[in-house]
Amino acid sequence: WLCLEPGAQFGAYFIFFVFKILVESKKLVLVYSIKQKKIIMNGILFRRTAMKILKNRESLLKPGNEYRREYNEVAVDDIPEVSTSSIKRTMRLNNVNYEEGFTCFSVPCTLCQKPLKTTKLYINKYTGMYMCAACKKTGQWNELESSFNRRTKKIRAKDEEAVSEIDKLKQALDNIRSITRDIKSLDEESFQNVLKKFRLPVVSNSTFETLDVRIDEKRTSMYFPLENVESEIVGYRKIHSRTNEDVVLPTETYGGVLSGKVPRSKDTAVLVPNIADFLVLMNAKVSSNVVCLPKGVNSLPQYALPSLERFKKLVLWFGTDNKSWNAAKLFAKKLEEKRCHLVRPTDQQKLPHLDATQDFKSIIAAAQPVWHKSITTFSTLRAEVLSDLQNIDKVQGVKWRRFPTLNKILQGHRSGELTVFTGPTGCGKTTFISEYSLDLAMQGVNTLWGSFEIRNARLAKTMLQQLSGLPLDENLHLFDQWADQFEQLPIHFMTFHGHQSIKIVMETIEHATYVYDISHVIIDNLQFMMGVSEEQRFVDRFGKQDAIIGAFREFATKKNCHVTLVIHPRKERDDEDLTASSIFGGAKASQEADNVLIMQDRRLTTVRGKKYLQIVKNRYSGDLGIMPLEFDKSSLSFQQKKTRTKKLEESHETSPNSGSDQEVSK
């Protein structure tokens, strides 16, 4: 140091001073991030507690109490940070003996009052949700993880809670049995009349010998027993003779399924989507167990998975429609593909209740395995190719009812595809895409909305108005009627807003896809999700966007789920139409997409300019074209005129408050 010249000493000292500042700054940032993380976690705990209070409808729906109508939301704090490997690691560290099944781990239940060897706790391998058939306790992985190290006092507290859960279930079952009677007590004529009244297939009375099927005194509601993994009745599936009511009582969380047991075959089960198919197969005395899924092809609750653990082979026999076929593939992944077989939907293999004269034994024996090696031959694919050719209309996808022109060009909405949607700012992209997804959800397509630009409440309001076709602010007396219909739709909303990490978003989507069997994901829009932070200003945004698009492309293909991405275009001249190359970012968006839709708005550039939707890429059929758009401000709808007129006429005819013809005309 002394040998250096004064100028060199000053320079060295300056460099050391700058380096010291950088080191201290890094420490401050680290401390700040830790404090920020604690604040976020406290906020999550507060939100979780608040949501539990809000969801307690028994107190909120009392007469005189005001309440807010809730819709399905998928919050990031509802997603447990768990994986199969982390569950195994935790159990090994706590010396917990476990058995690994197809979908669950089974361990001795530490929450039961019974001896440990006689009770089993089932833990979902992917979500960590646990349930015990003995004490009826269910919960999330973080609760169970902490219970492994709890002291005796805390375990006793859980025992008391489990006892109250058992009493609650017993009380609910006793209430159902007190207002119903066993259907086997009916004479043969009354029995057949009941089946006809409920539009069930004609079967013999002996089919119900092993089932505790019950019916109310008015003979308008029938109750089918649901059994858990221990073959214990934990609920009833209630169907109504005149309405479409089909509910699980008291709750689906007890993991019950409608099951018909066959002593000769303990390891094989045939899964069917409805009670009619279940009764036909039971009446035919097939050599396999028959299981009716609690929610049909709409969803496979994770609570039902432990009840299917004992079967080494599952045969999925669903319908020939596109939704049923996609559900079969999706459920097979959840149930472990290696043990699943599919009955291919062909003209010779209809659902059991559609043709009770079929050779069920040969059809079940000929079911094709879902899982196969990486290399296959045409002989393996032959049956699938034949099925696609015989059901070409179903393979084309779900048809839109509000946009028939889209059906002519795109053929339909297909699972496993990626759609990119763009258009100039303010042209109505979100309004159109909400109706676009609403149309599909009304046909049973399970939908997950990720709205990063506008609030979920505003989006739900738009979709509700599009569903009703009326300005609800002027028809508040109809709000409950349409809101009840909207609540029945399989639509879920992510609670994100603004910039979010792609890792967190993908974890949320994958969790929702597993739990709610999502088949359509909408991201609106990509730029808002990416955001721009200080450190990202100097990062290649195009590269980041390409990585995000690649992640969604991989997800769509891997999970067989349709993903719709809304992306803003880059700035173009107002007098020029947008093209596929106008999409913001690199070329990856248009290259990876199966469909590219562009909303063109020529109203501000020409006197007679109009708005229209242009399909510039269609990988399935190659057809391109345009669909004229006319916006109805009162209903916030873009649906085409013929469809809208017909819907309004039906709405007026069915409205409970419709008055005279003059009022309807007005």
Amino acid at 139: G
CATH code for the domain defined by 179-394: 3.40.1360.10
Strand partners, 601: 611
Q: How many residues does the chain have?
A: 666
Whether the predicted pLDDT of 152 surpasses 90: no
Q: Model's pTM, two decimal places?
A: 0.71
**Closest among 646, 641, 619, 597 to 406, alpha carbons compared:** 597
pLDDT of residue 377: 61
Whether the predicted pLDDT of 33 surpasses 90: no
pLDDT per position as a tens digit, 174-223: 999 999 999 988 888 999 999 999 999 988 888 888 889 999 999 999 99
Q: In the chain, what are the domain boundaries?
A: 76-166, 179-394, 410-665
Residue 235's φ and ψ, nearest 5 degrees, are 165, 180
Strand partners, 421: 566, 597
> Which range, of 100-114, 250-264, 532-546, 630-644, averages the lowest pLDDT?
532-546
> Which range, of 88-92, 344-348, 360-364, 524-528, averages the lowest pLDDT?
344-348
Rounded to the nearest integer, the mean pLDDT of the chain is 81
pLDDT per position as a tens digit, 548-586: 999 999 999 989 999 999 998 887 776 678 888 888 876
pLDDT of residue 109: 82
Strands, E assignment, 241-293: 246-249, 258-260, 268-272, 289-292
CATH 3.30.430.20 fits 410-665, yes or no: no
Whether the predicted pLDDT of 142 surpasses 90: no
- Token reading at 550: 């690649």
pLDDT per position as a tens digit, 589-618: 888 999 999 999 887 677 677 889 999 999
Q: Calculate what percentage of the chain has a pLDDT beyond 90.
A: 37
Q: Comparing 270 with 376, which gets the higher pLDDT?
A: 270
Whether the predicted pLDDT of 56 surpasses 50: no
pLDDT per position as a tens digit, 438-476: 999 999 999 999 998 899 999 999 999 999 999 988 989
SS3 annotation, 470-538: CCHHHCHHHHHHHHHHHHCCCEEEECCCCCCCHHHHHHHHHHHHHHHCCCEEEEECHHHHHCCCCHHHH
Amino acid at 135: C
Handedness of CA 349, 352, 354, 359 (dihedral sign): positive
